[in-house]
């Protein structure tokens, strides 16, 4: 018999602010974190993004890491993971055996870009310190080292489904008995590489994004980090810990349709949701709320809507995309929205899908204002480039 997987803590940092309280307050008051970039040194000064308005120097001080030249990705990861550990109440002894799985798409790209600029301007640089953080695993190691995590480390980089896949892999490890306590999530900072790259793909909205709107023009990029503490029932019992929710299902699939687009029929999304429901041993009708991937691109929202319609038929649950609040934080998006799913369960409310004016005609419109409602099960979708699609199901245990 497989062990059950519980969530005992979570932490978050996003364009909505530092910490769970700031993010929840913004969600409840429909205050978006989308704005013009002021910290990212880009020529696209009018391009709206979900930028955390806290400098690297301020993040370093918040993390208590003066004199350490860490990337923005690692700094945000340290702060979000630390909040999760504190909520769970893990002792130093437990931390020494806990595993960490971190998801990121660009790692320390921000530091690499500064070094490249210096090189182009003829300055001498230290290559090791300038580019060692470019490897995605470097930020994982730095988060673990800073927080005293001594168990096995993993890094997953599957584009926009990265951190959803870290949560799924943590679930696998606990269910199989390979681990009893895993910290899983992801962190990604805005960078010129991602902003210019997505702009060249012509999938960035030049105004605030409008997920699931018939006239949507694309996504807004974002940044942030979020981590969950996942534990077995035995681990919680042994240390007297308290669970806040249960991870009951997860599924991953790849439609292998295109490098940067989902299949129009949403085949990968369909398979991921079906797998998650099968693992949770539940009928689709039991899902109360879907935190959709909902990027605001023409391709994603159409394929996801078609997949949701295929899974839920005429009984489509309340759903929304929260990316108009945070922007699309790429490798961190899945964990950020997992935290929003847990907040939906704990506070019994569905968060609004902002900026909708003309709903698509594929499925019923998303919820557009804060909705107080009974929420027992939440489905959270995260779909990445290359067709890597993941779905998570969290259950209320109160």
What are the Cα distances from residue 312, in Å, to 37, 110, 164, 203?
39, 41, 22, 28
Catalytically annotated residue among 160, 181, 209, 389: 160
Catalytic: 208? no
What are the Cα distances from residue 8, in Å, to 228, 253, 260?
8, 27, 35
Q: Which two tokens stand for residue 146?
A: 């800073």
Catalytically annotated residue among 136, 209, 293, 389: 293
228, 184 contact by CB (below 8 A): yes
Is the Cα dihedral 126, 130, 134, 135 positive or negative?
Answer: positive
Q: 109-129: buried (b, 16+ CB within 10 Å) or exposed (e) per residue?
A: bbbbbebeeeeeeeeeeeeee
Residues whose CB falls within 8 Å of the CB of residue 152, separated by 6 or more in sequence, listed in order: 99, 100, 179
Residues whose CB falls within 8 Å of the CB of residue 128, separated by 6 or more in sequence, listed in order: none
Q: Which residue has the tokens 């429909």?
A: 30
Catalytically annotated residue among 181, 209, 328, 389: 328
Is the Cα dihedral 213, 389, 27, 226 positive or negative?
Answer: negative
How many residues are listed for the chain in this entry?
398
Say how many C-beta atoms besides its own lie within 10 A of residue 315's C-beta. Answer: 11
Specify whether the backbone of 352 is left (phi greater than 0), alpha (psi in -120 to 50) or beta: beta
Catalytic: 134? no
Q: Which residue has the tokens 């969600």?
A: 27
Catalytic: 347? no
Q: Crossing angle of helices 298-312/267-280, nearest 10°?
A: 40
List the Cα angle 238/229/156 in 5-degree steps: 130
Any idea which residues carry the catalytic annotation? 160, 293, 328
């Amino acid at each position: 018999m497989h062990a059950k997987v519980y969530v005992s803590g979570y932490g978050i940092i996003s364009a909505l602010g530092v910490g769970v309280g700031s993010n929840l307050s913004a969600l409840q008051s429909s205050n978006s974190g989308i704005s013009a970039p002021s910290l990212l040194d880009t020529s696209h000064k009018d391009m709206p993004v979900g930028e955390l308005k806290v400098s690297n120097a301020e993040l370093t001080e918040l993390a208590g890491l003066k004199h350490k030249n860490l990337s923005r990705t690692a700094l945000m990861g340290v702060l979000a993971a630390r909040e999760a550990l504190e909520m769970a109440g893990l002792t130093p002894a437990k931390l020494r055996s806990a595993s960490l799985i971190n998801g990121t798409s660009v790692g320390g790209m921000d530091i690499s870009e500064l070094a490249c600029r210096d090189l182009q301007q003829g300055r001498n640089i230290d290559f090791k310190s300038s580019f060692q953080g470019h490897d995605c695993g470097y930020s994982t190691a730095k988060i673990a080292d800073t927080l005293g995590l001594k168990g096995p480390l993993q890094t997953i980089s599957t584009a926009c489904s990265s951190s959803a896949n870290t949560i799924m892999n943590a679930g696998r490890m606990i269910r199989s008995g390979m681990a009893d306590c895993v910290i899983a999530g992801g962190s990604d900072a805005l960078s010129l590489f991602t902003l210019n790259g997505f702009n060249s793909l012509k999938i960035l909205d030049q105004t605030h994004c409008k997920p699931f709107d018939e006239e949507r023009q694309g996504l807004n990029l974002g940044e942030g980090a979020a981590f969950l503490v996942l534990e077995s029932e035995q681990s919680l019992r042994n240390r007297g810990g308290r669970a806040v929710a249960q991870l009951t299902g997860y599924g991953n699939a790849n439609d292998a349709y295109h490098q940067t687009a989902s299949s129009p029929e949403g085949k990968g999304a369909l398979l991921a949701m079906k797998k998650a429901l099968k693992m949770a041993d539940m009928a689709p009708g039991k899902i109360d709320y879907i935190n959709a991937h909902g990027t605001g691109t023409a391709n994603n929202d159409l394929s996801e809507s078609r997949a949701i319609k295929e899974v839920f038929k005429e009984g489509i649950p309340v759903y929304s995309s929260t990316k108009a609040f945070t922007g699309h934080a790429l490798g961190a998006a899945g964990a950020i929205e997992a935290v929003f799913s847990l907040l939906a369960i704990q506070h019994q409310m569905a968060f609004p899908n902002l900026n909708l004016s003309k709903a698509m005609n594929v499925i019923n419109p998303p919820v557009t204002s804060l909705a107080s409602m009974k929420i027992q099960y939440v489905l959270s979708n995260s779909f990445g480039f290359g067709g890597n699609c993941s779905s998570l199901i969290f259950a209320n245990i109160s």
